[in-house]
Amino acid sequence: MRLALEQARLAGERGEVPVGAVIVANGAVVAEAGNRTRELNDPTAHAELLAIRQACKKRAQERLEGCDLYVTLEPCTMCTAAISFARIRRLYFGAEDPKGGAVVSGVRFYSTPTCHHAPEVYAGIGESEAALLLREFFRSRRD
């Protein structure tokens, strides 16, 4: 999670919402990314999707079985679905997102009968630091 938090910090420095993601397999980092929606003018350029794309390219396959994803914020519906489709083994996330999250908040995608693969989910990892990054980012935008 430390690396995901660093990616979140870098995203915030770029003017992006500070969310970072890291994919790990067998103890080695396979991919890491921070949000780039503004930079790329791409509403799908969330940290999770960028990391998934990077890991799939690196492994030359569409599935990431045996991989774990660390992300600083509870994934949205789009990212939650992509995590399922990629067959990520475990999802670790920091802060919950009551407005946009889709794992333990909102639609709770992995609990729906249409979800074909649900990773093991571990919430609250690095939560206080992840939440602080987000609060400070949005506070600076309001000032």
User: d(Cα 109, Cα 80) in Å, to the nearest integer?
Assistant: 7
Which token pair is 103? 């794992």
Quickly tell me which residue has 């989910």 as its tokens.
121
Question: In the annotation, is 48 catalytic?
Answer: yes
User: d(Cα 133, Cα 56) in Å, to the nearest integer?
Assistant: 28
Torsion angle, CA of 50/97/78/140, rounded to 10 degrees?
A: -50
Question: Of 6, 13, 32, 48, which one is the catalytic site residue?
Answer: 48
SS3 sequence of 11-52: HHHCCCCCCEEEEEECCEEEEEEECCHHHHCCCCCCHHHHHH
Give the three-class secondary structure for 8: helix
Residues designated as active site: 48
